[in-house]
Amino acid sequence: MSTTTLRNLRIALGISPESLAVQCRMSLDELSAIESGKREPNGSFINAYSKILNINTTILSVLLKGTNRKLILFEKLRKLALKVLNGYLKLSLWMTDQDEPEKKLPR
């Protein structure tokens, strides 16, 4: 999963980076590194994040990291799913921007 998508999910859910860092038991710097793509998310982050988002841990892990089996078709579908999800989140944030200007639309 692109780290931009992780940030967009957090923003769309109205979760502050500080709150998410506390819930994931990590520092704000660590969360920032994951969301900016400077650091790979570990298992404990994926577990905590999946609980916060109410999404299946395995699905989130596959979206974030892919699988050991690098099937070309699967990777293309995974990347397409991420683009669609990220586009949906950006559209959702754009639509709510009129009512809630404090939610900044990610670039």
Per-residue pLDDT of 4-61, as tens digits, reads: 777 877 887 788 899 889 988 899 999 999 888 888 888 888 888 888 877 788 877 7
Domains and CATH numbers, the chain: 3-97 (1.10.260.40)
For residue 74, give every residue at least 6 positions away whose Cβ sits within 8 Å of its Cβ, in sequence order, or none. Answer: 66, 67
| Closest by Cα among 1, 21, 16, 2 to 104 | 16
Which pTM value belongs to this model? 0.62
Of 73, 69, 100, 83, the C-alpha closest to 1 is 83
